[in-house]
Structures are given as structure tokens and as C-alpha cells.
Structure 1
Amino acid sequence: MTEYPSWDLPEDLTEAWGEDFCRLEEAAPQLRYDMHFAEAPGIKLGGYPAWFNGTGWEDCEGCGRRMDHLLTVASWEYDGGSWRTWLPLEDRDEDGAQAIEADPTGLNIGSLGSVYVFECRSCPDRPFTHWYDSS
């Protein structure tokens, strides 16, 4: 799947897509860019972190570059709004509604938070670090 940044969307794109976001909200008020079209929630490799409280990108101590998002370990796979976009079809009932719990793993990281693991692909030893976020 392809995902796009939400909190991290570059300012020039936010401005360029502003009218599109307004049209989307008018046409489908139940859908929001940040919840339904940007980063996928849940446990995942790669992609963009689904931040709760702003961004937590880490910089490499070795080279100073922003580290790449490697892994998210989240307390839940979707929430009350995002399931419409991100819940796989095989996890829905015959009417298209949710057939599994939002937290099928039973994880509870802090207050329904997530841990994000980052690595530096520029450094030969590929150092890594993490950041914690909570709702």
C-alpha cells in the first residue's frame, strides 16, 4: 500500500492541496485526510509513523541526518474512524463492518501509545534508536 505523511506533510504540499482537502471534507465529511488517506495505523514495517503528538523523528548521532522509520509497534491496529480505510477486507464481516477487535494483539503500550524504531541507512553500522508516543 502507499501511504502519505500527515503531520509531516511538507508545507508547500499542504498549501497546494488545501483546496482539495476542503473539497474532500465537503464531499465526504466522514473522511479526513490524516485519518483515512495519510499514514496507516497499527503495527507495521516502514512507511510513515502515525504520530499522536506531533513528530518524533530522530537524528543520527553519527552523521546528523534524519533517521528512517523502520518499525512501528502500536497498541491498536485501527481506531473508530480509520478502520473504514485501513481494515483489510478479510477482517470484515459480510456487511463490511469490523469483524475483529481494534487491538487483536492485546498490546497496551503506555496509554494506548506506540513505539517507533528508526535506523540510519547512511552510516555503515546502521545505528538505531526509538521514540515513544502516547495518546
Structure 2
Amino acid sequence: MSHRLKFSQYLMLVFIMLGASVGDALLSRGMREVGPVSFAHLGLLLHALLNPWVIAGIAVLISFMGSYMTALSWADLTFIQPATAFGNVVTALIGRLWLHEAITPTRWAGIACIVIGVGFVANGPSKTEHKHTVALTGGEGA
């Protein structure tokens, strides 16, 4: 039996993909402003938590996590994780266009491999169907 997704579930997968990418990009932007932090200097780490970009990134990543948990309630991890892997492309594009990061051809090749792999996973069922077994406890009437 094939477990088909509803339109709203596909939208959830898109939100998960975008949420992780955008949240990580916002954190990156904020941490560039803050500079290096370490656990040895907790004051700097607390200062980072006050940066508006970091706050926005954390908020987006919290909503991502809620969406991710929701998706895991109706589909297998082995479906959800690869299905949202197109977020690697989104992350690379955000990194290149908004954060002005250099992306080497090797990284692009790796991202292409991930996207191709997603094609293999996306054609499978989203949920493992488990047959319910009846435990026998000494007869039908017991």
C-alpha cells in the first residue's frame, strides 16, 4: 500500500526546507556581526543572543523544529530527511546571493549529488506500513 501525501503535507515539507535554510542564514548573518564567541567567554555568547539577526534565526529555527516534528508524526524519518534535502540548494543560493560566500565547483557537485539522491528517495512510500499482529493469549475467547 502506497502512503500518499496531501497537498498540505507537501507544503509542510517546503516550509521545513526553507525554514532550516533561512534560519541558518539569519544566524550566520548575525554571527558575522557579533564575531568569534566561545564557552570560555560566556559574556560574548550572551551578547550574540541579543543580536536581532540571531534572534530572528532562532525564531525561524524553532518554527522549523515544530514543523519537522509535525512531519515526523505522519512520515518516516528516512522519507522526511531526504525529501527536505533540496534545502541544501536553497542554503547554497542564500549563501552566495545574500551572504556573498564563495561556493566552489566541488561544493556544487556535492549539492547536485544530494539532489539526484533525493529523486531516488522521493519515489518511495512516505510511511512504512506495519501489519498489525494479534497476540495470542491462549485462544480467541481469552
Taking structure 1 as the reference length, the TM-score comes to: 0.24
Q: Which has the higher contact order (CA 8 A, sep 6+)?
A: 2
Q: Which has the higher helix share?
A: 2
Higher strand fraction (1 or 2): 1
Structure showing greater radius of gyration is 2
